[in-house]
Amino acid sequence: MTVTTQIISSGQVRLQAFTRGEASNPAIVLVHGYPDNHSVWDAVAENLAKNFYVIAYDVRGAGQSDKPKKIADYQMPLLAQDLLAVVDTLIPGRSFHLAAHDWGSIQSWESVTTEALKGRILSYSSVSGPCLDHMGFWMRNHLFSTSFTKLAKAVRQLFSSWYIVFFQLPILAPLMWRSGLAKVWPAYLRWREGVDEPDINPTQGEDGAIGVRLYRANFISKMFRPQPRFAHCPVQLIVPTGDNYVGTQLFSELTNWVEHLYRRDIDATHWVLLTHSKEIAEWIAEFANVIGTDEDDSALHDIRVLPLSANLFSTTQQPKHTGA
C-alpha cells in the first residue's frame, strides 16, 4: 500500500509523518517506542490501512524527525504537543483513535489524561507502556506496603527496569549505541525477543543513543512526584505476558485511573508488534470499531476490567483475557 510522507512543525521541531489508506476512513494514529522509529508499526499499519486512515510518525529524537540537543526538550508536555501538531496538520478538527507501544505508550498517556485532545481521542490501545504517574503511585503503594507480596512485586519490577537507571548516565548509554550496539541489535531481538527476521533500521544507532533523553527528561521527576492522571477515553491494554521489561503487575490498579478499561493478555515478548502483527492489528481495529461507532460494548464484554469494588459479589472477578 502506498505510503505518503509529510514534514510537520511542532514548535521549532520538525516531525516526519507517514500515512496509509484513504483519508476519508476513520483515523488512527500509531506512536512508536524506544529504541525504534515509526517502522516498527509497518506490518500492523499495513493491516489497519484496509479500513482506517493510518498515521504514524517518528517521535522527536528518532528516525527522520528532528533531534533536539537539550534534555528538557524531551519532556512530556512537549511530546504531547507533538501529537497535537500531527493531528492538527493531517486531520484538523477530526477525532481519531490512538495506539502506542513502549515509550510511545508512556508518552501517549499524557495526551489521554490532559485537556488538549479531550473529546478527539476516541479510544486508546496501549501496548507495553504504563503511565509514569500511575507507575509512580503503584511503586509507592507497593514499596512501602506491609504486604510481602506487594513488596516482592515492586522489587521484581525494579530488577526488570535496571536499564532505566543505566539510561540516566549522560555518556555511557549513547556511546554504547554508537560504538556497535546498533549492529548487533537484530541478533539481540532474535535471541531475547523471538523476532525471527528483524529489518535493519538504518537509524538504529542514533535512535538508541538519542532516545535515552526521553528517560532522562521524565522518569525521575514522575517517579518521585507523580500526579493524578484520569483517562478521558476508553483504554485497551494489550499485555505481553513474556515482557522482559514491563511487568504485568504494573497494570493491576489501573481501574483507579481508567473508567472504561479493557485488557487482552498475549503470550509474547515485548516486541509483540513484530512477532504478532496480525493479532495486534485485529485487536486495535475491533476496539476502535466498537468504541468509535458508539455500539453496545457487549462485543468486548469478555475483556472488560471492572473495579475491584464492583466485583466483590461477582462471579467474574477477573476479566477473561484473550491471547494468541
pLDDT of residue 116: 96
pLDDT of residue 153: 62
pLDDT of residue 319: 38
DSSP secondary structure letters along 155-203:
HHHHHHTHHHHHHTSSSHHHHHIIIIIHHHHHHHHHHHH--SSPPP-TT
Helix (H) or strand (E) holding 233: none
What are the 10-residue block averages of pLDDT along the chain, 324 residues in total?
91 97 97 96 97 98 96 97 98 98 96 97 96 83 62 58 58 83 90 83 92 90 88 96 84 90 96 96 96 74 80 35 40
Q: What is the CATH number of domain 4-311?
A: 3.40.50.1820
| Rounded-to-integer distance, Cα 267 and Cα 277, Å | 13
pLDDT of residue 307: 83
pLDDT of residue 253: 83
pTM of the model: 0.88
Q: In what order do the strands lie in the sheet with 261-266?
A: 4-10, 13-20, 53-57, 27-31, 96-101, 121-127, 235-240, 261-266, 304-305
